[in-house]
């Protein structure tokens, strides 16, 4: 399969590397010439930064850019016969409807260039505007992943929201925990075993059953103490409010179960 990769960020980087093992990456199109050149060298392809130079005869055009950039990028692209897809979790498939064949190939994982991932274990979620487009998408997705599923745009958007809670917000809470510990000169790595055990339990048993802590026990004395520390010692009223809000949600959900 001859593939044109549109974009050169984290998602494009990892997709380019894994797809180049099974397919022919023809070009890397990106406004960031440095990133495009780096990825082109790794995938034995050609970097381009002019949309008029995008090859019109490829089989597959993979748009891996930020959500806000998808529409402007597609408007710059030439009309092509190959299948054009984006990799967004929250953007509707039909944003690509100026093309005859289009769809979505959403790798459901968080990506950082510096960190290797096992693509075979990553869910890849696909959607196509025609049966033919969908079948081709499934074929390409199955060449890089053992976990390919067909889901529609509504399902994908809801999944993306869940992912923000399960990954982005959780990571922000890690950052917050690190900042709290700085107040008493304790290194963040002391939390590593706790973080790993929490994640392990969430994947092995129902997360509702795995919930622990003062909120689920309704330990009002500890909850009050923690809030006072955040207000008076950490001196962060908004963080204290967030602590109370999360604690209230945990307690409310525990009463429903």
pLDDT digits 0-9 by tens, 44-99: 999 999 999 999 999 999 999 999 999 999 999 999 989 999 999 889 999 999 99
What digits encode the pLDDT tens for the residues 165-224? 999 999 999 999 999 999 899 999 999 999 999 999 999 998 888 899 999 999 999 999
The structural domains of the chain, ordered by start, are 2-151 (3.40.50.720), 157-256 (1.10.1040.20)
This prediction has a pTM of 0.82
Give percent of the chain above pLDDT 70. Answer: 100
Strand order from edge to edge, sheet including 147-150: 46-48, 24-29, 2-6, 60-63, 83-86, 102-107, 123-128, 147-150
> How many other C-beta atoms can be found within 10 angstroms of the C-beta atom of residue 48?
19
Q: Check residue 257 and give its pLDDT.
A: 66
What digits encode the pLDDT tens for the residues 222-242? 999 999 999 988 888 999 999
- Rounded-to-integer distance, Cα 247 and Cα 241, Å: 10
């Amino acid at each position: 399969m001859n593939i044109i990769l549109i974009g050169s960020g984290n998602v494009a980087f990892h997709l380019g590397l894994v797809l180049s093992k099974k397919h022919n990456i023809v070009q890397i199109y990106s406004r960031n010439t440095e990133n495009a050149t780096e990825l082109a060298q790794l995938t034995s392809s050609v970097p381009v930064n002019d949309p008029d130079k995008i090859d019109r005869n490829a089989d597959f055009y993979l748009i891996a850019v930020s959500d806000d950039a998808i529409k402007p990028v597609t408007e710059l692209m030439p009309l092509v016969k190959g299948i054009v897809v984006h990799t967004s979790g929250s953007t509707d498939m039909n944003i690509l409807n100026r093309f005859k064949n289009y769809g979505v190939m959403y790798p459901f994982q968080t990506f950082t260039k510096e960190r290797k991932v096992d693509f075979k274990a990553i869910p890849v979620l696909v959607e196509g505007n025609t049966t033919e487009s969908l079948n081709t998408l499934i074929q390409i997705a199955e060449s890089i992943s053992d976990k390919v599923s067909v889901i529609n745009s509504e399902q994908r958007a809801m999944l993306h929201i869940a992912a923000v809670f399960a990954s982005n917000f959780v990571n922000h809470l890690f950052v917050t925990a690190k900042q709290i510990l700085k107040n008493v000169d304790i290194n963040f790595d002391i939390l590593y075993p706790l973080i790993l055990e929490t994640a392990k339990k969430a994947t092995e048993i129902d997360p509702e059953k795995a919930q622990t802590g003062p909120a689920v026990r309704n330990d009002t004395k500890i909850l009050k103490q923690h809030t006072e520390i955040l207000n008076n010692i950490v001196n962060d009223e908004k963080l204290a409010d967030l602590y109370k809000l999360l604690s209230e949600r945990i307690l409310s959900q525990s009463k429903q179960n």
